[in-house]
Amino acid sequence: MHRRLLALSFIAAALWGCGSVATQNQAATHPPVSPGIRSGPKVKYAPNPSDFLPPNLGAQQFDQSIPVVVTTNKDGQVTKVIVLKPSIYPEFNEAAKELAMQVRYDPATINGDALETTLKFTIHFKLEDK
């Protein structure tokens, strides 16, 4: 298995031109998307998921993963949350949306200018017997 993984890495490097040296007048095959220094959004505050659990669960065991897409404004506040794959339990979908709305970010930037951003991540709710 280890040998196969190394071989695939080598093939991928060869296909994408990693390790090749460009000649002086060679045209770029993939021009940059936008020039400048980029910084991705960073989580500044994330609430505790257990604060958002539906109150009617009691001591039931559960394991729910809710993938979401959030949109942040230039101030790093979440402005929109979309549940990508809803749980069969609507209360977990609402809990995930409420939690995602409370997360705060340092905004993404290009050359120091803040940007609106869209992020995809999964919120996990899990309770097991100990």
pLDDT at 24: 45
Question: What is the model's pTM?
Answer: 0.66
CA-to-CA separations, 94 to 53, 87, 98, in angstroms, rounded: 10, 10, 6
Per-block mean pLDDT, blocks of 10 residues, the chain (130 long)? 28 30 44 63 88 75 90 95 94 94 92 91 80
User: What is the distance between the alpha carbons of residues 69 and 100, in angstroms, rounded to a whole number?
Assistant: 9
pLDDT at 78: 96
Count Cβ atoms within 10 A of the Cβ of residue 60 and give its class: 0-12 exposed, 13-18 middle, 19 or more buried. exposed
Total residues found in the chain within this entry: 130
pLDDT at 114: 92
- Which runs of E-coded beta strand occur in the chain? 38-39, 42-45, 62-72, 78-83, 104-106, 109-110, 113-114, 117-127
pLDDT at 33: 53
pLDDT at 2: 31
